[in-house]
Every structure is written in C-alpha cells, then in structure tokens.
Amino acid sequence: MRQRHLEQLVGSADPWVVPFVVQLVGEYVLEILVVIRDGLRDLATPGASGHLAYGTFVADNPAFFARTQRRVVSYWNCYYRAAYASFRGYLGCALLDLLRSAASDITEHPLPKPHPIRRH
C-alpha cells in the first residue's frame, strides 16, 4: 500500500476503516505507525469523530485490542528495544495509550495496559 493511500485511509473515521487501522497499529513497520499517528490527530480530542469511532471499536472489541497490544509489545521487544530502551518511549505504545484512552471515555473505566517483556 502506498503511503498516500494509507494516509487517506487513516484519515477516515468510517466504521469499516477503523478495524483495519487498529490492526495496523500492531504491525512492526515504524513508518506505518508514523502515518497512523499523523492521521489520527483528533484521537486525543474527546468528542471528535476519530475519538468516538476508535474508542467505540476498541471498547466493543476487547479481545482484538488485547491481541493488538500483545503484538505491539512483541514487535517492540524483537525489533525496537535497542532503539527504544523503554516501551513507554516507543510510538506503538503511544498509539495504544491513545486508543485505550478513547475506549475508556466510551466505557467509563480504564482498559488494561500491556506488560512489556522484561529481560533477565
């Protein structure tokens, strides 16, 4: 998928688009995460169309979101731990936080956070 097409897709709050974008948050390609972050600027704004669409989807699909969170942690651990020593500093974590916050506004209770893999 070309970046321009991805930007157009991410910029839509249509209900059929949301699951595809949430799934892409769980991918390992950092450039995809940047496009998603840039395209979901209103995700942090309560009442905005993106905030409502993504919050509703995540709230209605907790197993799907939990799997996405596990994938983000796993890819960070495998590919990005050297560049981002803390999971909190990784863009995938920031996107999960935004999605979790939007869903929490819908459900009126916090969603569980992923647990980064610890090195021994």
The residue ranges of every structural domain in the chain are: 3-107
- Cα separation, 97 vs 69, in Å, equals 10
Q: Per-residue pLDDT for 118 more than 90?
A: no
Only one residue has tokens 């920031």, namely 94
Task: Provide the 8-state DSSP code for 87.
Answer: G
With bands split at pLDDT 50, 70 and 90, how would you rate the model's confidence at 1?
low
The answer, yes or no, to whether residue 72 has pLDDT greater than 60, is: yes
Q: What is the full DSSP assignment across 14-78?
A: -TTTHHHHHHHHTSS-HHHHHHHHHHTGGGGSTTSHHHHHHHHHHHH-HHHHHHHHHHHHHHIII
Q: Note whether 73 and 80 are within 8 A (CB).
A: no
